[in-house]
A and B are shown apart, each in its own frame.
Chain A
Amino acid sequence: MSSIKQYLADFGWPRIIIFFFLLSLFVAAPFFGVRLDNSLADVLNRFGQNGIFVLAMVPMIQSGCGLNFGLSLGIIAGLIGALLSIQAGLVGALGFAGAIAMAAPFAVLFGWAYGRILNKVKGEEMTIAMYVGFASVMFMCIMWIILPFDSPTMIWGYGGKGLRTTISLESFYKRVLNDFLAIRMTPSAIIPTGELLFFSLCIYLMWSFLRTKTGTAMTAVGSNPDFARASGVSTDRMRTLSVIISTFLGAVGILVYQQSYGFLQLYTAPLQMPFAAVAAILIGGASVNKGSMLNVVVGTFLFQGLLTMTPSVINSALQTDMSEVIRLIVSNGIIIYALTRKLKVTK
């Protein structure tokens, strides 16, 4: 009995409560006419779609830079990669791989500069990160108009200049991961196997990275920077590296997100994306200084599950369309809840 209690305590009551709430939504769904199979497929799809953003939080948490509220910077790098890939006319799997490859140098460059900034504001990383994210999104709003892309699929039909707000990936790499080995459960519910496999691969790579010498040093920097420095580890370099990895994962994350969604969203679309990822990893039980792969998986599943199920069930129950309002209340409410729950590090 006590061992069960201990296990539950380790897992954390917040997660257990949210899990049962989510379960009750699934149970309630059929009574309000929401199809269970569709809901489940939706949750799985969004799980794979958003998982990499959440994973991108891990390196910066481990190195003590806090939650990456400036993930938008990585998303922008990903968007640039995607545009270049479309401009080059790459399609299918090649288009997707090309987008990642072309996003990489931008992600490294942005991450390096962003890391330099964060090293100058130790202790205030999360606030500064948020403004770095906001500022870069707004700056890119200008750039999307003046950058010399000219592929007809992406520029405004009228005027022939400036990128559209949404660009269809229909003829490029839409659902390239989702459809890989996809399993059709019921006529309308498909399990996106490829997307889930790709997410698993990313998790495995991160898991093994944290087991390397460098990953160990990174964790030590987050745990106690003075200790790491006294052991000959350069804290600034480790922190910068963690920011670069996080930014790169943000770029990969947006590409995975797009191929599943089918559209490329520019301008202010990346503005709010980091918040969902932050909320998810906190729900998963990570603190501002410690995050594990389990936190990522559990957090993404619970957060995306809530986000999918709450609006659809409540909409059907109340017979109104409030999905967007409810989505905002749920996601921001979870962020507030999670941030107040954050665990302090021992000093």
Chain B
Amino acid sequence: MGQEDALLSIEHLSKEYYGNIVLRDVSFDLKAGEILGLVGENGAGKTTLMSVLFGMTVISETGGYKGSVRIDGEEAKFGSPFDALDAGLGMVHQEFSLIPGFSTMENIVLNRETMKASLLNDVFGDRMSLLDRAAMRQRAASAISKLGVTLDTDMLVADMPVGHKEFTEIAREINREKTRLLILDEPTAVLTESEAKILLKALRNLAGQGIAIIFISHRLQEIVEIADRIVVLRDGTVVKDTVNESLSIKDIASWMVGRSVSVDRKQDGAGRSFGEDILQVDGLWVDMPGEPVCDVSFSVRSGEIFGIGGLAGQGKVGIPNGIMGLFPAGGSVRYRKKEVPLNSPRAVLEMGIASVSEDRRGVGLLLDESLEWNIAFTAMQIQEKYLKFRLGGLIKYRDEAGMRALTAEYIDLLDIKCTSPKQKVKQLSGGNQQKICLAKAFAMKPDLLFVSEPTRGIDVGAKKLVLDTLRRYNAENGTTIVMISSELDELRSICDRVAIVNEGRIAGILQPSADVADFGLMMSGVAPESSDAQETAHV
């Protein structure tokens, strides 16, 4: 730590958001010309670390950080990203920040254009200078040549393939004369394999010219290929900081997923019996922004708890949303030998399939309404429960007493903390809101239940209660549950089988008892070596 020649050194960095620790005593150095591979699961603290480095205002707004960031041995405290830029940091984000209607050259030199004086300067000052297009083109070309790729400087960004956009972004960052440290956040996520190869080559080229690079990716293959050193973050701590020498992907995967402690499994797969396949998904695609599903096939047995895991953005959440008809979807979904009509939420609900949305506040709840409304609404609309019929069914009034009884039942069953069943749901804590979402789904008495991210954003105690409830509900009612979660531990603790989704496809289906490293590998898009634990995707 704190070597003399370090370009960047991070020492004992800690950061918490409202008492929730996201970075804990993180330390590492980076030398000029070195490529550092930074890996970690979602929520490991990568983004927060980069925000601290780059002086994002969200950090100072939430109380700053502890520890220090040194550049060339001098303490650096950036008040804003502009300070970071001045200090020679460059960042390429996962999402492109380019102007589509501008050419490559214009994007690269944007706001740092070369000017030439014009007559109007004398009257109106520098704002009336003209652009020196020839010089700009030359600067852009030199930045591109540093990358070692060929790009047309006059092509509009809108007309470019994604790979070229990525290169334009990088070229923009290195066009700044001072740029010495480049941070790339998942640069290859949108690239094809061949484009990614070119990018890696370009990065090595840059490193050769003395620019230090922090490379964040979940594609471990690339990390192993390019990085000089690898830092693994897990739950906000650096669990491994090692030179990239004879490391296997499997090692990195198990560091990343970690928690080699045996998972607390209350039930054993052996003691459980399942019926025939109840749900068959074949070639499903879902157009859900941020979570696209390309081609997913799997089947779920009756009475089973089926887990779907994977990293964020890989499409796991898209699967239930597509089947429930909330996002445009295609392919074939069969439930109890009947075709499930896609893109029609009502038809799916009528078949006895219910879901708990991952977007609790956005989709899952009526925040401005009472507990009673939230719990009874879907069952009322779909199954005509909790209604009183007048004039021979012509008029259907809400059955307030029935709704109250139902709510009281679930408040009791799920231990929902509230002042009264009339309380507005927005006043409840996250954990209790999640219980309301579950109660809403249970009130439908579903045969098949999709549960997405049931424990996101709730505290440990509530997590356990939610998981226990799901397990108990499955055991007592024989309800088939498909649970989607980012937390592998959780999936392994209650599911009978776990499918891992990568890049919109099922990478494989594992027994929960399988080696942690195998899960980690699948999440990174690599087929595990020990294939004995893996079942085929089509069971």
Contacts and interface: CB of A to CB of B under 8 A. Distances in A.
Contacts of B345: 229-232
Interface stretch (B27-35, B44-52, B221-229, B379-387): B379-387
A195 B297 CA distance: 65
B302 to A, nearest CB: 24
Contact of A216 (B361, B380, B426): B380
A233 B363 contact: no
Contacts of A347: 361-362, 367
B373 A226 contact: no
A214 B367 CA distance: 20
A213 B348 CA distance: 20
Report which residue of A227, A229, A234, A345 has the largest number of chain B beta carbons within 10 angstroms of its beta carbon: A227
Given A220-B377, A231-B345, A347-B362, A212 B367 contact: no
Contact of A227 (B349, B364, B387, B395): B364
Given A216-B373, A229-B326, A290 B368 contact: yes
Interface in B352-377: 355, 357, 359, 361-369, 373, 377
Contacts of B369: 219-220, 223
A232 B368 CA distance: 19
B355 A230 contact: yes
A224 B437 CA distance: 14
B362 A226 contact: yes
Interface in A52-75: none
A342 interface: no
Interface string A222-253: 01101101111110000000000000000000
A81 B364 CA distance: 44
Interface residues of A, number: 24
A224 B367 contact: yes
A216 B398 contact: yes
B80 interface: no
A319 interface: no
A213 B396 contact: yes
B370 to A, nearest CB: 11
B408 to A, nearest CB: 19
B398 A226 contact: no
Given A213-B398, A229-B345, A230-B326, A220 B366 contact: yes
Contacts of A223: 366-369
A217 interface: yes
Interface in A165-216: 208, 211-214, 216
A226 B345 CA distance: 11
A278 B366 CA distance: 25
A6 interface: no
A346 interface: yes
Contacts of B387: 213
A279 B367 CA distance: 27
Contacts of A224: 362-363, 365-368
Contacts of B66: none
Q: Which of A214, A220, A347 has the most CB of B within 10 A?
A: A220
A347 B361 CA distance: 7
B230 to A, nearest CB: 41
Given A208-B397, A211-B397, A213-B396, A232 B357 contact: no
Interface in B338-357: 345-346, 348-350, 355, 357
B378 interface: yes
B140 interface: no
Given A216-B380, A232-B378, A227 B366 contact: yes
Contacts of A219: 369
Interface centre among A211, A346, A347 (most CB of B within 10 A): A346
A229 B366 CA distance: 12
A224 B440 CA distance: 15
Contacts of B384: 213
Nearest to A232: B346
B284 interface: no
B324 interface: yes
A286 to B, nearest CB: 13
A3 to B, nearest CB: 15
Contact of A230 (B361, B363, B396, B398): B363
Nearest to B366: A223
Nearest to A208: B397
Contact of B381 (A211, A226, A231, A345): A231
A59 to B, nearest CB: 17
B382 A231 contact: yes
B442 to A, nearest CB: 14
Given A213-B380, A213-B384, A232-B378, A346 B395 contact: no
B458 to A, nearest CB: 19
Given A220-B366, A223-B368, A345-B368, A230 B324 contact: yes
Nearest to A230: B363
B398 A211 contact: yes
B350 to A, nearest CB: 7
A346 B324 contact: no
A220 B425 CA distance: 13
Contact of A232 (B363, B382, B396): B382
Contacts of B367: 223-224, 346-347
Contacts of B396: 212-214
Contact of B397 (A212, A226, A233, A290): A212
A214 B394 CA distance: 11
Given A211-B397, A212-B398, A216-B398, A231 B365 contact: no
Interface string A304-347: 00000000000000000000000000000000000000000111
Nearest to A225: B363
B324 A231 contact: no
Contacts of A226: 359, 362-363
Given A211-B398, A345-B368, A347-B362, A230 B381 contact: no
Contacts of A289: 368
A229 B362 CA distance: 12
A267 B378 CA distance: 46
B377 A231 contact: yes
Contacts of B349: 231-232
A290 B424 CA distance: 14
A130 to B, nearest CB: 26
Contacts of B324: 230
B451 to A, nearest CB: 14
Contacts of B366: 220, 223-224, 227
Nearest to B346: A232
Interface of B: 324, 326, 345-346, 348-350, 355, 357, 359, 361-369, 373, 377-378, 380-382, 384, 387, 395-398, 426
12 contacts: A213-B380, A213-B384, A216-B373, A223-B368, A224-B367, A226-B359, A226-B363, A227-B365, A227-B366, A230-B324, A232-B349, A233-B346
Given A208-B397, A213-B398, A220-B369, 5 more contacts: A212-B396, A213-B384, A216-B380, A231-B349, A232-B381
A-B pairs, 9 with minimum CB distance: A232-B346, A231-B378, A213-B396, A346-B367, A226-B363, A232-B349, A223-B366, A232-B345, A346-B426
